Structure 1
Amino acid sequence: MQIDIPCNGLDRFRQALTDLGISGPDRMLLAISGGPDSLALLLLAHRACPGQVAAATVDHQLRRESAQEAEFVGGLCCNIDVPHSILRPAQPISGNIQSSARRARYALLDQAADDQTCTFIATAHHGDDQLETMLMRLARGSGVDGMAAIRAKNGRIVRPMLGFTKAELEEICAAAGVEPVRDPSNDNPEFDRVAMRQWIAQATHPFQFERTNRTASALADAADALSWMTAVLAAERTTQVDSAITCDANALPRELQRRLLLHCIAQLEPALHPKGEAVDRLLVELDAGKTAMIGNILCKGGTRWTLTPAPPRRDGGIK
């Protein structure tokens, strides 16, 4: 099957792979849902990296049509000689549907990449997604890490489509004569991202995805620098004896104090991921020399902080 791709788009895609440090021998697993974004990724990667890509479709089994859509992707991959697998969660998706589905999806893709001996997992996030994410994070009051938004590379996850718009990806599918599937949940304004997408489409605004990508990249660099500094300070200023951690965060900038506190919390209770407001309140208490709780951790303030597991309650529970 011959796939026609506009030359400019193919050149930009190849440059994006180079910028991500992906070379010829590196195999990529493509996360393909059947929508226009991921189908454009499949078409571009197939042309740019022949023989070096495999594809996987995650069927979350949340919609009646999902199995048929996964089979559709499998048929297209067969036509262009790209190995394809359909992945399904072992347990039904429950709780917060979007968050649970995302965790299940990346776990399945990670295992499939290992099975296919793929170095990288490529997703089809694009420039419009980046703008939506940054504005959503801004609306939520996110800090530096959150405002870094969608990273072009995060471990083995790569996103070579951030330099493309949604419209361009639709055009790539149309030029190839491929009709994408349409997920009705992408038009449901009950989801935060859909509501933001609809607002952007209706509003007159000055945002441009190229500038958004530059801002996100700069914030990602800043977040990496802060993480590096936190690791250095943790080695110098924290001490752990058994299950007690002491930390000297005195005179440090507020953001580094905050990150050191999060580091100590993670050492004692890795599953605890406190929200920003809770961490800010705890910092105020510690600065005032008070004792406070977060999760199952007892935190004592002063010039040096002490964090320990909370003592058992008299009834055997955890305070």
Structure 2
Amino acid sequence: MLEQFQNHITNNLPFLKESKLLIAISGGLDSIVLTHLCYTLKFDITLAHCNFSLRGNESDQDENFVLEFAKTLNLEAFVEAFNTESYAETEKISIQMAARELRYLWFSDVAESLNFDYILTAHHADDNLETFLINLTRGTGLNGLTGIPEINDNIVRPLLPFSRDELERYTNKINLKWREDSSNASDKYLRNKLRHQVIPHLKEANPELLQNFKKTLQNLNDSIDIVDESVEEVLNRAIASVDEYQITYKISEFKKLNSPRAYLYEIFKDYGFTEWNDVIDLLDAQSGKQVLSKTHRLIKNRARLILTDLCHSEQSKESFDIKTDDKTCQLPIGTLFFDEVDAISESSKTIIFVDNDKLEFPLHIRQWENGDIFHPQGMNGKKKLSKYFKDEKLSLTDKEKVWLLTSEDKIVWVIGMRTDSRFKITEKTNHILKIEIK
């Protein structure tokens, strides 16, 4: 196996030979084999072991085994203990997910702080098959059926082409010892059920299962390349605008497609959406309809779909007070400047002039609310802000960015849009206040 591993590195991962590598080692078969192979080939390696404190004395024995193994090979080893159960409870996730998050966060921190080029994990071909079947049973798209990536940013998995049987034969040949995690014997977790109850029957039915599975993964990855190219072409036509907070798409471009559902899935799957029938229905829904994921939302706005981050969509409860002698005020949308002037110049959406004597300080700045009414300058009478926004064709996300300058609950300025006629400059005005948003 050593020769096969060396050939695999030379042909597919040659950059590892000259890199500083951090190996994630549990003490189990796969990570022990990976470490020994890299050590034998004289790679620049350091070990990192996580003690998740889940199996009492057994976890501590694993840690001691790794430290002894590192000492035998004269390798440096880092060890970190975690309170995994507490982390899982705090984050409201499973123990398995907690261990995964803690593991990769720590590996990343160590790699960054000590300038490791890559983190090596010991996933092998059987792990890949298990992941494929897990995703298949839970329901997934094409990407979920392509297995574990060999290279993912700075994480590399050099053992993916090799089976567990090959790893075991390697340890037997050179009499290499390793630790067996007792939790692997339990069928409590889906992965173990597949490993113990399903995959052995599949291998019995077809001894070439893993080899054929590798071919299938290659075919699926080739298909993904085709899909990605097609999706990119659609995005080039469909994206109308992109800014810091949202992406706007032309609905008409999706309706031209033979299978809009497939494209919508590929485009929006990474934003956490799962209710795909609702996403499809947005194409023909009335304006204002929206679909939420845990992190994002998709809104129908006339002939557009608007994608926005949820953290930017919730109306801010912040408010600001402006005292008589205040000259500036920092808002989420910019900075307001206040200056008393002797005469007015040309006003704009960002610069207004008001009668200072009509204002009651402190002024108040807040986001708009349903029921707000103002007297638009240049118009007779009053108008609901909601009606004004509709006339201005503001989208839901546009409205959420609107801030108001008020005086005793009277709107002075819909900031950046329209002033209120009750505070306009007249022939009787003695003191003029210039207000500007930058």
Q: Give TM class, smaller chain.
A: 0.7 to 0.9
Moved more, 214-223 or 79-88: 214-223
Q: Distance in 2 between matches of 1:128 and 1:15?
A: 20
SS in 1 for 2:248: strand
Alpha-carbon distance change, 302 to 136 in structure 1, aligned in 2, over 3 angstroms: farther
Distance 1:241 1:111 in 2: 31
Aligned to 1:247: 249
* Distance (whole Å) between structure 2 residues aligned to residue 132 and residue 243 of structure 1: 38
CA distance in 2, matches of 1:67, 1:46: 24
2-structure distance, mates of 1:15, 1:117 = 27
Which of 28, 35, 46 is matched with 1:35 structurally?
28
CA RMSD across the alignment? 2.9
Higher relative contact order structure (alpha carbons within 8 Å, sequence separation ≥ 6)? 1
Are residues 286 and 193 of structure 1, via their aligned partners in 2, closer, same or farther at CA, if it must alter by over 3 Å? Answer: same
The 5 Å alignment of 1:188-267 reads 188-198=186-196, 199-203=198-202, 204-206=204-206, 208-223=209-224, 226-227=227-228, 230=231, 234=235, 237-240=239-242, 243-248=245-250, 249-250=253-254, 251-252=256-257, 253-254=259-260, 255-262=262-269, 266=271
The residue aligned with 1:284 is 280
For 1:93, what is the secondary structure of its paired residue? helix
Q: Judging changes above 3 Å, is the alpha-carbon distance between structure 1 residues 31 and 232 closer, same or farther for their aligned structure 2 residues?
A: farther
Whether the aligned pair in 2 keeps the contact of 1:27 and 1:120 (CA below 8 Å) is yes
Distance 2:298 2:137 in 1: 32
| Residue aligning to 2:171 | 173
Q: Which has the larger radius of gyration?
A: 2
Q: In the alignment, which residue of structure 2 is the partner of 1:69?
A: 62
Match of 1:11 among 3, 8, 11: 3
For residue 6 of structure 1, what is the aligned residue in structure 2?
A: none
C-alpha separation in 2, matches of 1:114 and 1:90: 23
Q: CA deviation at 1:127?
A: 1.2
**Quick one: structure 1 residues 127 and 261, their matched pair in 2 at CA, closer, same or farther if it must change by over 3 Å?**
closer
Between the aligned partners of 2:95 and 2:50, the Cα distance in structure 1 is 15
TM-superposed deviation, 1:23:
4.3
Aligned equivalents of 1:30 and 1:84: distance in 2?
9
- State percent identity of aligned pairs: 25
CA distance in 2, matches of 1:301, 1:281: 18
Task: Indicate the residue corresponding to 1:26 in structure 2.
Answer: 19
- Secondary structure at 1:57 match in 2: strand
Q: C-alpha displacement at 1:305, in angstroms?
A: 1.6
Structure 2 unaligned spans of 5+: 318-368, 371-438
Given the superposition, is the C-alpha separation of residues 298 and 131 from structure 1 closer, same or farther in structure 2, using an over 3 Å criterion? closer
Unaligned runs of 5+ in 1: 1-8, 267-272
Compared CA separation, residues 244 and 39, structure 1 to 2 (3 A): closer
1:79 Cα deviation (Å)? 0.8
* 138-147 or 85-94, which deviates more: 85-94
Count of paired positions: 295
Which residue does the alignment assign to 1:52? 44
In the aligned structure 2, how far is the partner of 1:59 from the partner of 1:235? 47
Work out whether 1:140 is the aligned partner of 2:133: no
Deviation readout 1:181-223 (Å, 9 max, x if unpaired): 1112112112011011112124543362122123224434544
Q: CA deviation at 1:259?
A: 2.9
What CA distance in whole angstroms lies between the structure 1 residues aligned with 2:151 and 2:48? Answer: 19
Pair 1:262–1:247, CA change in 2 (3 A):
farther
The one-letter amino acid of 1:209's match is: L
TM-score, with structure 1 as normaliser: 0.81
